[in-house]
A and B are shown apart, each in its own frame.
Chain A
């Protein structure tokens, strides 16, 4: 999972977080796995109900997960997941 530079300090400065997977994961379970040790990072991405924050976009193989199956979108072992903040604010 690739983090934007603004979030990397919340992951110990790491630009990429990985999770071991024997088979396919969902985006939600991948988030659980990679943010387990970084709870503040987890709260930046999802609110306390588990919902993805409105202006956080997650891409799996180039597709934004809201156009797929949201946080239930499958991630295969080896697949790259990209987190990007959307264009918002003024």
Chain B
């Protein structure tokens, strides 16, 4: 064993409208699939938590008949566990019931066991036991703006959570409501949408009410985040105090996806769609766009993608891994999943004819985790 290089392998999780598929690969080229897991339940959220010396896959599961729940697997999907009382359930006094888990977000490496979640109705949750039990964030639940938040087409949910390395600053995004920020680790929340358009409202520049589709933090610059809005692509360099357009150079400013590099400053990916009223890739030609200068310029990436594509890519149906170079993965509502092992320069179709892809996540497994031990 001593002379063997550390084995590195990859896991890809694809959540669809009718179940979950998992795939593993040694080279990010050939993938070995298992599934469907949770057949006939939608999987709108996935997290692959590689902290604490184990690989835990957590999924938000929702059956039209039997409701939502959270399940986890510590053996790459061979077996699944579900806490008996449910991992995410509203306290009785709220009178609310969970409709759908939209986001599961493992916190920083330095805070193992801490996992955040975003749900519908609009709510944020936090677990300190690796995602087995979550507590409702009361500051956001009791926020005075709540009655004015709305519902996007997919439902009213908190769908993006970004926690700063120190854990003090937490940015969330909700549809509709926009970006809210906490400076005290999630105790209190203020809207931070200055510069983000809400062209669909009587006042196009409200304090809140925007339909921010996804936010992601820059890997290396403190206080810098990127946002894909319901028309508009933005960057903030001051923790959301001001948002400035970085849409110039993109074929369209509509879309749902916003990904950032795991390590490199200034690198982000979007998947533009033509418009609110025309939710297809511009000209029916699917392309990912990457910036390496924080939105100053964009590079079109479509090598390996089909000649035409009329399906959209949903906000969480895209992911990066943490390898070098980083892998980029995304799936369409037409059930096709593409993977790139070179930061988007070339893509390969890794799955097709699946149900609508709702969520994609990928991770690097190393050493014991990779061998399944």
Contacts and interface: CB of A to CB of B under 8 A. Distances in A.
A36 to B, nearest CB: 11
Interface residues of B, number: 18
A85 B67 contact: no
A45 B66 CA distance: 6
A85 B3 CA distance: 57
B86 interface: yes
B67 A40 contact: no
Contacts of A40: 69, 82, 84
B98 A48 contact: yes
B90 interface: yes
B97 A85 contact: no
A53 B86 contact: no
A39 B85 CA distance: 6
Nearest to A7: B66
Nearest to A4: B65
A89 B64 contact: yes
Q: Which of B40, B63, B92 counts the most A-chain CB atoms under 10 A from its CB?
A: B63
B97 A48 contact: yes
Contacts of A39: 84-85
A88 interface: yes
Contacts of B95: 49
Contacts of A85: 65-66
A56 B84 CA distance: 20
B96 interface: yes
A88 B84 contact: no
Given A48-B92, A48-B98, A51-B97, A86 B65 contact: yes
Interface string A39-73: 11001110111010101100000000000000000
Given A7-B66, A48-B97, A88-B65, 12 more contacts: A44-B65, A45-B66, A47-B97, A47-B98, A48-B90, A49-B95, A49-B97, A55-B65, A56-B65, A56-B66, A85-B65, A85-B66
